[in-house]
Amino acid sequence: MNTKFEEVSEVIADERFLSWYFRDNQSAGAEWETLMEGDPQIRNLSEEAVAFLKQLPSREIPLSRQQVETSLDTLHGKLAAAPVVSMRPRGLWWKMASAAAVLLIAGFFVFRSFDRPGNLTTAYGQLCTNELPDGSTLILNANSKVTLSNDWKGTNDREVWLEGEGFFKVAKTPEKKRFIVHTNNLDVIVTGTQFNVSSRNNHTTVLLTEGRVTLRMKDGSEVKMKPGDFVEMNNDQYVQREVSEENVLAWKDNRMAFDSTSIEDVAKIITNHYGIKVVLGDDSVRQQYVTGVMKNNNLDELLRAIELITPVTIVKTNDQITISSNMQ
């Protein structure tokens, strides 16, 4: 396969880039990551492609793979038929290509959100609102995936498997069918309610905002929750504690909330959300904590906000972020 890229359109059309961006094929995504690590030009073009895709309009109408591939073929044909003009910087070409491509590639978010029947995914830095087959609503946080059970008709339970974070507004059905969210640590069982679930790296949290839910643990034990309850499971260790609902749900409004969060945990959160490696420049920085609610629709602005309220210096390069302490 191609390993040389000159323009952003070539990157966007490459399946390995799309798999890396949309996190739906681990091996292809890893191959693209290797290409970026070995070639700064590919890294730069990938960043331009990411910026472009984030600006595309998102319509929540599922499209088939064939429809999207047909759009790509059409785009390629139009670009191939266009007059060849040598120009630098790339900016002028980029504006022309963007104008030509935006209508054709706008289905990417929709298609990749439904990357195959029963799967919903989001890329790094992307939020997506989806209507489920029963009329329930799911807001999916960045770098997340939900798999739906095959049959939602009749009296069957409505089941989903979550990797990442999502806010569910579950519709009630005449049959009062159960809605079950499966995670690595526990199952969330409801009939009609609103709640937030986060499940990453064997760490699961559930916040109930409306109605009632039942949590079923791996050992078969159950926990009943009422509105306002927050449950946390870390390596099968269960704890219930008070939290700020506004902070937990800040991500829905493209905000990131920290409450005396260690800089080490902040680094993990940024990596999970944006897909960029974050390293700590020294041991003393581990003693720093972050508190505040910050805008989260731009990584550079987020890093600047953290620097303003925390005695740290943050350096961002193409492939990683380094956080160091200012304290001597």
Cα distances from 154 to residues 118, 123, 134, 151, in angstroms, run: 17, 33, 11, 8
Q: Which pLDDT tens digit goes with each residue over 56-93?
A: 544 443 444 444 445 555 555 555 555 544 434 444 34
pLDDT band at 55 (very low <50, low <70, confident <90, very high): low
Sort 93 into a burial class: Cβ within 10 Å, 0-12 / 13-18 / 19+: middle
Amino acid letter at 294? M
Per the model's pLDDT, the better-predicted residue between 23 and 216 turns out to be 216
Lowest mean pLDDT among 52-56, 219-223, 262-266: 52-56
* Per-residue pLDDT at 110: 39
CATH architecture assigned to 119-247? Sandwich (2.60)
Q: Which pLDDT tens digit goes with each residue over 87-117?
A: 344 443 444 444 344 434 444 443 444 444 4
Q: Which residue has 């490459």 as its token pair?
A: 14
Lowest mean pLDDT among 5-14, 17-26, 102-111, 125-134: 102-111
Sort 258 into a burial class: Cβ within 10 Å, 0-12 / 13-18 / 19+: buried
CATH of 254-325, one of 2.60.40.1180, 3.40.50.970, 3.55.50.30, 3.40.50.740: 3.55.50.30
Domain 119-247 identical in fold to domain 254-325:
no
Q: Which pLDDT tens digit goes with each residue over 281-302?
A: 988 999 999 999 999 988 999 9
pLDDT band at 231 (very low <50, low <70, confident <90, very high): very high
Average pLDDT over the chain, rounded to whole? 81
Domain boundaries, the chain: 8-113, 119-247, 254-325
* Per-residue pLDDT at 154: 76
Per the model's pLDDT, the better-predicted residue between 211 and 25 turns out to be 211
